[in-house]
Amino acid sequence: MADPSTSPPLTRSSVQEAHNLILPHIHKTPVLTNTTLSKLASTPRPAAELEGTPWAGRTPTKPVIRIWLKCENLQRIGAFKIRGAFHAIERLERDKKWVESGGKEKGVVTHSSGNHAQALALAARENDIPAYIVMPDISAAPKIAATKGYGATVIFSGSTSVEREAAAAKVIQDTGARLVPPYDHPDIILGQGTLGLELQDQVSEALASSSPPYRSLLLPTQSPRTSLNAIIAPCGGGGMLSGVALSCENTGIRVFGAEPNYEGADDATRGYYSGTRITTVKSLTIADGLRTPVGVYPWSIIYERRLVSGMYSVSENEILAALRLVYERVKVVVEPSAVVGLAVALFNEDFRAMVEKEGGEEGWDLGVVFSGGNVSLEALGKLFST
């Protein structure tokens, strides 16, 4: 990576500059609405569903939530990660010291469970740079195949962040390749944040139209808003969540993070409310893209600068229920990690109570980030087999 000290400041204007830099390399992914999902999110859950949950015995909440889906599953390589990878490579290409010292010939290296792996492999290939990708040996087969298909050399490692980082360090020692981390770097964060800019603009344009698709959810006395109230995004290492938070800085749009809670995968949630960043995670949650701890740079944005307004988590069953709804009602291919934010809006009563209280009768227009769609048919079959 470029030296972090030479990176642009972590601000909304820097996200806008990053967007201009990577525009030739990315898709402007669509924003979809779905009346069924919005109505489900705006309907109280049956009291029986709350039994056995932290909200057992509570009166079910009744927020009004109009959902807007940012479909990064339709992005190049099937995930938002391409944004950060291209921004990182474009920044490196502008580093004269790196170019003049033979950096392009030595290549780049990263460690990733799959989406950043594919993204860096593609960005490197399009810039004629060798790429070495350290992947956990339990990575999804389609992600491994795609990474190799983009021309990268794949090195397998254990599944923990410590094991991945050790393998990457060995590659650097052997090749002199430059590390492009999956999330913990300003250039990555700024690149990922560009999806937040697009989401804001796309929703504002839709809200300004004569017949917004969610009009049936408005009360007779209500008028449509002109912008989102909030965005909720999945959080693994925090690069995308913190980038989206930067994209919303000083706009009045609030940002929330979503995680699985299985086997301690809710590290950012626990850290956010305890005030201490948790540095290790070892979880086999079905949301495999979210099995990493929050990085130092993302933490500084999410927690220390308080640009993220709250963190929420959901169970494996809730993620699976949201995934089924997306397949059956929205008709798009997403991976389990992508629907964690939607699952929070549908099932987390703490989040829903907050929206009910703050949104009142008018409710919220909520942007939900679908982070990726890289999942195998075999994996889906196993997920839905019971």
Catalytic residues: 81, 113
Question: Residue 178: which residues within 8 A CB-CB, separation 6 or more?
Answer: 1, 92, 98, 103, 106, 107, 108, 109, 172
**Four-CA torsion 83, 88, 94, 99, nearest 10 degrees:** -130
Query: For residues 39 and 309, what is the distance between their CA atoms, to the nearest angstrom?
Result: 24
Q: Could you tell me whether strands 31-33 and 65-71 are parallel, antiparallel, or unpaired per DSSP bridges?
A: antiparallel
Give DSSP secondary structure letters for 185-200.
Answer: SHHHHHHHTHHHHHHH
Per the CB < 8 A criterion, the answer to whether 367 and 29 are in contact is no
Query: For residues 366 and 244, what is the distance between their CA atoms, to the nearest angstrom?
Result: 14
How many alpha carbons lie under 13 Å from residue 1 in its C-beta half-sphere?
Answer: 21
